[in-house]
């Protein structure tokens, strides 16, 4: 497929364009989060907020996490596995409020 054959949407207000395939990539359904907090309890509380939101988007989301002691507190690394790319994208947009 040549560049001319691809569909491009142009934004009239800013002159930008993007191809949908560059925004939503098939198989992009894993999200890695890093939460830094002063205590383990604070990090887990923040993770609970993300988990609640993720389960609203996808009840079958798989969550795993690890904790590590850092210089300024605790670093929690979490991985959320959604069932499809669209669910991950919806979660990312909704999680901006957290």
pTM for this predicted structure: 0.74
Q: What pLDDT score was predicted for residue 1?
A: 44
Helix residue ranges, H only, the chain: 20-23, 40-57, 85-94
Mean pLDDT, rounded, for 33-53: 97
Q: Residue 80's closest CA among 69, 72, 98?
A: 98
Fold type of domain 26-97: Alpha-Beta Plaits (3.30.70)
- Of 1-10, 20-29, 58-67, 85-94, the range with the highest mean pLDDT is 58-67
Mean pLDDT, rounded, for 76-88: 95
Is the pLDDT at 41 greater than 80? The verdict is yes
* Domain residue ranges in the chain: 26-97
């Amino acid at each position: 497929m040549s560049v001319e054959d691809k569909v491009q949407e142009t934004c009239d207000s800013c002159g930008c364009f993007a191809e949908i395939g560059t925004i939503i990539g098939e198989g992009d359904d894993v999200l890695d989060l890093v939460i830094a907090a002063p205590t383990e309890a604070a990090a887990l509380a923040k993770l609970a907020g993300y988990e609640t939101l993720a389960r609203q988007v996808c009840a079958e989301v798989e969550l795993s996490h690890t904790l590590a002691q850092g210089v300024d507190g605790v670093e929690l690394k979490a991985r959320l596995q959604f069932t499809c790319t669209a669910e991950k994208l919806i979660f990312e947009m909704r999680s901006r409020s957290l």
